[in-house]
Chains A and B, each alone.
Chain A
Amino acid sequence: MLSFIAKRLMSGVLLLVVVTSGTFFLAHAAVGDPTPGLLGNSATPAQQAALRARIGYDQPLLVQFWNWFSHAVTGDFGTSWRNFQPVNDQMALRVPVTLSVVVVATVLAAVVGVAVGIVCGLRPGGLLDRGLKLASVVLFALPGFWVSLVLVTWFAIELKWFPAIGYVSPDQSMTGWLRSITLPAVSLALGAIVMVAEQLRNGFLQVAGQDFVRTLRARGLSDRRVTAHVLRNASPAALTVLALLFVGLLGGAIVVEIVFNLPGIGSLTQSASQIGDIPVLLGLTAVTVVFVVIVNFLLDLVLGWVNPKVRDR
């Protein structure tokens, strides 16, 4: 078990290094000389050269990489090329906002998705099951930001149940925080709920048709106990989907945040991308990948606990 954990951790660290390094070179290749973007087209060559020197862009790419990487390992992602604020400070303000939306959405997806999935798995072909099938196609079809546009129009502007835009930190007001992230989280979670529910429902039906379930029934176990066996066997697939969704929701949050005007990483990424502010983009990539690695690691632990075969591998 220990070597299993060590292996997964190593794999996560490797992923982090590969993705951030890859993004570094990708960003440099994509952006090219950042100074026109940063200063605008009216800047003189001298101003541009001064900025290049200040941000270290005049050094060879590998040197730049090493400067960035050696600091990043210690958790220091440098300063923004636009306003020279430390990237860490900007992220410290914004990451909690995005994270709270994504975590709430994931929890919603897990709780509601699992409940719906079980009910549909128990009664395939029933009313809820047919509803799920329709919903899975419809909600899959509608991108999260589209759903959020509808939700804003309806619940915030028409009914005025929730604030249309803006974010309230939980330090200021717990209910205010909840109200401010409910709509964004729900618009992200809707599609995810359906995916989790469908995965669980299909896995549930597949397991329910296996031989050992018949044998469990033949032993006289109650429906509730047999369901528990089926659920445990069906859960790895649903858990895997949930972990993948977390990654997807991080990306989806970027657009949804802009609709709801939340001060998360979305608008930061957008503006950094438009002007080619590479340190900010790299910092954001690294932080999101760290979260992904943590989630995947937790997933591996849970899968190992659920299915003993995984541990022995």
Chain B
Amino acid sequence: MTAVPTPLAPLAAVKRISLWRRYLRRPLGVVALAVFAFVVAVAVLAPWLAPFDPNLVDFRITRAAPGGEHLLGGDSAGRDVLSRLLHGARTTLYGAVITCAAGVLLGVPAGVAAGYFGGVTDRVCSWISDALQSVPGMIVLLVVAAGTGQDFTVLMVALGVFLAPGYYRITRARALAVRREPYIDAARVAGVTNPRILRTHMLRAVYAPIVVQTALTAGIAVGMQAGLQFLGIGSASTPSWGQMMNDGFQTMLTQPLILLWPSIALGVTIAALAFIGSTLADLISVRADQPSRRSRGAVRRELSTSSQVPSGVHVHEVCALRVENLRVGYATESGVKEVVRGVSLDAAPGEVLGIVGESGSGKTQTIFAVLDLLPAGGTAVADDIRVAGQAVDKRALGRSIGYVPQEPMSNLDPCYTIEHHLVEPLRHVHGLSKADARARAREVLVRVGITDPDRVLRSYPHQISGGMAQRVLIAGAVAGRPALLVADEPTTALDVTVQAEVLELLRELQQEYGMALVIVTHNFGVVADICDRVVVMKDGRIVETGAVEQIFRQPADLYTAELISASLDDTEGRHELDELARVGGEDETR
């Protein structure tokens, strides 16, 4: 359990807020949307709003200053700037719609098909997409414009083709991820046809990212469109912002205002689209917001003043680990959520202590707090945490504390060899020379039962099995001969037979090095196998502490008893249960 537990009251009222409502809570997003709506309104109403025909030439107003009935003055050909600006919005939006439509129509179906069907479809579509992205679009657009330069629609479709890979990549990635979800397999087994799966599950999955992508693509499209018009592409009789900018560019030194108006219109429109896109992207990404420093201080204060009575007891004078009244909290929208609420425990040198509980009990959070490695947003407050008699600080990690994680594969850096994983801490934390560190790494790999250490040292994490990766991680944890070894569900991700091997190895190493071992687990079998003492946790508190024999023989707490009896060893098998049910049924009918 590495995730922050979020216990949910069974079927409690949950606030569901639509994306739209959440969007309206973002001031920046609302302003951007309002601005964009204004541009759209102007574009639609341009023929009625514009005071003059945008192409009407009146030599008297050539490069005229703003004022009078020509609010923004005249351009270098004697046309009303305001009217051209308003009609330009029409051109701009029309082009953006065409471009986005072309991009969506090409990119989305191809992306969904490539992600869902994979194989040849995927390879062909991906190659085409990569190729399109490798072509300098501007040059090919100019080639297209060479003959059809006056046909704006064709040019905008061509632009859409070059922007389609953006849609393709995003939908393919989503479709690929969703394809691996069991609910797609479940739908197929339920007899749902492929077209229907694509229409419902796939489209729902890609919908939100496509909306975001469209806001961004529209921004890019408007910019590139203006760039093309700036280069003189497009009909002279259709007013456009890019063309106006080109006109203003010629007279930039004498009449900078002519350049200013279309620049503002263009910048504001694209900025509005970009802010709409980034607001939407923020809303749909599940990324947890980084709590500010102030809220971390607030969490700390709240935790410090919480009136919880510490749970758990101390039994040892000399401790390898001693934790006094530990509290861990996370800042959430509705205040501080305490996941560990006053935990006190200790472990003697050479003792194996189990911390056991179900998901959400706070067992993993407790040891992350001890290691000072809580995930972002987590804050720990304790009266005292000592390892081998010393207050825990940065220097304790890797030296007096070793750590064995739960999931072996995700805990090795995929970019480095096993040798680097083992040698780096030995050299830079323990100060060994390169040769000594290598020798020690090899030695400790042999110790954890790896028979071909030289090959493993040369390997990258993806080249070894999960069981072997866990041995490597254990080797890394004990290489510095710590006084305390902390293992977080070290066997949960492993097969049963490998699990037995790893437990045996942990036991041997613990005895050989005389370490204290704190092992977090949900499995009472593991507790029975390896632990001397056990701490039972529930909802962030310790419900019971005791020697293993005593806890199993005579659990003092009801919850402990329930947990132990939930394990299925030696319970009735199916045949006995059927027998019981049959007898019970007869009893009832009698």
Contact = CB atoms under 8 A, between A and B. Distances in A.
A144 to B, nearest CB: 8
Given A233-B415, A306-B415, A307-B414, A217 B373 contact: yes
A34 to B, nearest CB: 9
A243 to B, nearest CB: 9
Contacts of A225: 424, 428
Interface in B401-435: 401-403, 405, 407, 410-416, 424-425, 428-429
A116 interface: no
Contact of B139 (A137, A217, A269): A269
B412 A212 contact: yes
Interface in B222-271: 223-224, 226-227, 230-233, 245, 249, 252-253, 256, 259, 263, 266-267, 270-271
B93 interface: no
A26 B428 contact: no
A5 to B, nearest CB: 18
A274 B429 contact: no
A214 interface: yes
B429 A211 contact: no
Interface in A110-131: 124-125
Contact of B425 (A220, A250, A288): A220
B66 interface: no
B241 to A, nearest CB: 10
B131 A19 contact: yes
The winner among B142, B290, B397, B398 for most chain A CB atoms within 10 A is B142
A267 to B, nearest CB: 10
B146 A31 contact: yes
B399 A149 contact: no
Interface stretch (B7-15, B272-280, B505-513, B565-573): B272-280
B260 to A, nearest CB: 10
Given A233-B414, A244-B133, A222 B428 contact: yes
A270 B270 contact: no
Interface string A125-157: 100000001001110111111100100110001
B148 to A, nearest CB: 5
A292 B226 CA distance: 25
Contacts of A209: 375-376
Residue picked from B130, B401, B415, B477, most chain A C-beta under 10 Å: B415
A276 interface: yes
Contact of B373 (A31, A214, A244): A214
Contacts of A309: 414, 460, 462
Contacts of B140: 23, 26, 285
B138 A219 contact: no
A31 B149 CA distance: 9
A289 interface: yes
A288 B270 contact: no
Interface string B128-159: 00110111111110111111110000000000
A270 B411 CA distance: 54
Contacts, number: 223
Interface in A269-313: 269-270, 272-274, 276, 278, 281, 284-285, 288-289, 292-293, 296, 306-309, 312
Contact of B230 (A26, A145, A219): A145
A232 interface: yes
B199 interface: no
B551 interface: no
A237 B316 CA distance: 51
B263 A220 contact: no
Contacts of A308: 414-415, 460, 462
Contact of A219 (B232, B275, B429): B429
B146 A281 contact: yes
A250 B140 CA distance: 12
Contacts of A293: 134
Interface string B378-399: 0000000000000000110111
Contacts of B395: 220
Interface in A24-54: 26-27, 29-32
A173 interface: no
A141 B146 contact: no
A247 B414 contact: no
Nearest to A295: B134
Interface string A212-256: 101111111110010001001100000000001001001110110
Contacts of B2: 211
B398 A220 contact: yes
Contacts of A19: 131, 134-135
A244 B371 CA distance: 42
Contact of B249 (A144, A259, A278): A259
B95 interface: no
A218 B392 CA distance: 12
Contacts of B103: none
Contacts of A219: 397-398, 403, 424-425, 429, 476-477, 480
Most B C-beta atoms less than 10 A away, residue of A30, A152, A221, A296 = A30
A103 interface: no
A121 to B, nearest CB: 11
A251 B138 contact: yes
Contacts of A146: 223, 226, 245, 263, 266-267
A92 interface: no
A207 B43 CA distance: 44
Nearest to B28: A137
Given A138-B271, A218-B373, A220-B395, A288 B146 contact: no
B110 interface: no
Given A31-B146, A229-B413, A273-B149, A292 B134 contact: yes
Interface of A: 11, 15, 18-19, 23, 26-27, 29-32, 124-125, 133, 136-138, 140-146, 149, 152-153, 157, 209-212, 214-222, 225, 229, 232-233, 244, 247, 250-252, 254-255, 258-259, 269-270, 272-274, 276, 278, 281, 284-285, 288-289, 292-293, 296, 306-309, 312
Given A137-B274, A212-B410, A219-B429, 17 more contacts: A30-B147, A137-B278, A140-B216, A143-B223, A145-B226, A146-B266, A152-B252, A219-B397, A219-B476, A229-B413, A247-B136, A251-B136, A254-B142, A273-B149, A278-B146, A308-B460, A312-B463
21 contacts: A15-B131, A15-B134, A27-B143, A125-B290, A144-B227, A146-B226, A210-B410, A215-B403, A218-B373, A218-B405, A220-B399, A229-B413, A251-B137, A269-B138, A273-B145, A273-B149, A278-B146, A281-B146, A284-B139, A289-B135, A289-B136
What are the 7 A-B residue pairs with the smallest beta carbon separation, nearest first?
Answer: A220-B398, A251-B138, A30-B147, A218-B403, A143-B223, A141-B270, A273-B142
